[in-house]
Amino acid sequence: METRYSIFNQRNRLFQYIEDFYGTEPEYLWAKYPTYAVFRHSASRKWFAAVMELPGDKLGLSGGGYVDVLNIKCDSVLIGSLLAEAGFFPAYHMNKNTWISVLLDETVPDERILPLLEWSYDAVAPKRKRKSQD
């Protein structure tokens, strides 16, 4: 399916989608890692996604070179099944019980990533307070 995002690589498509859909721009927090970006929920200011350019061997990939990786919050039950699929890895440098890493080299189609991204965004949304029952 051709979309306006089709001309970009997966990392750039994802950045554009997040900006368009969530109204959030990447933040580059580390001078030492200028390609690392985080995305925050607009209301809670908590991270719902982080994108990093890593040496592939950090994920156990052979062949050398660098790869783009998306870290997103994920349901702990779902993480186990995702890890059985190509392109999903235990979260790099995050809590492996609540985050997962996704390889951004077209191995995992955008259509598979976007619902997970939405879950991550919703997971860090501010919790609604219950009215006290007097």
Average pLDDT of the residues in 3-14? 73
pLDDT digits (tens, 9 = 90+) for 84-117: 999 999 989 898 889 999 999 999 999 999 999 9
d(CA 47, CA 71): 10
- Output the DSSP codes for 76-94: HHHHHHHTTSTTEEEPTTS
User: What's this model's pTM, rounded to 2 decimal places?
Assistant: 0.85
Q: Domain-by-domain residue ranges, the chain?
A: 10-123
> Which fold, 10-123?
Aspartate Aminotransferase, domain 1 (3.90.1150)
d(CA 129, CA 95): 26
CA 120 to chain centre: 8
pLDDT digits (tens, 9 = 90+) for 42-92: 999 999 999 999 988 888 888 778 999 999 999 988 998 999 999 999 989
Do 59 and 89 form a contact (C-beta atoms < 8 A)? yes
Closest CA to 72 of 12, 131, 117: 117
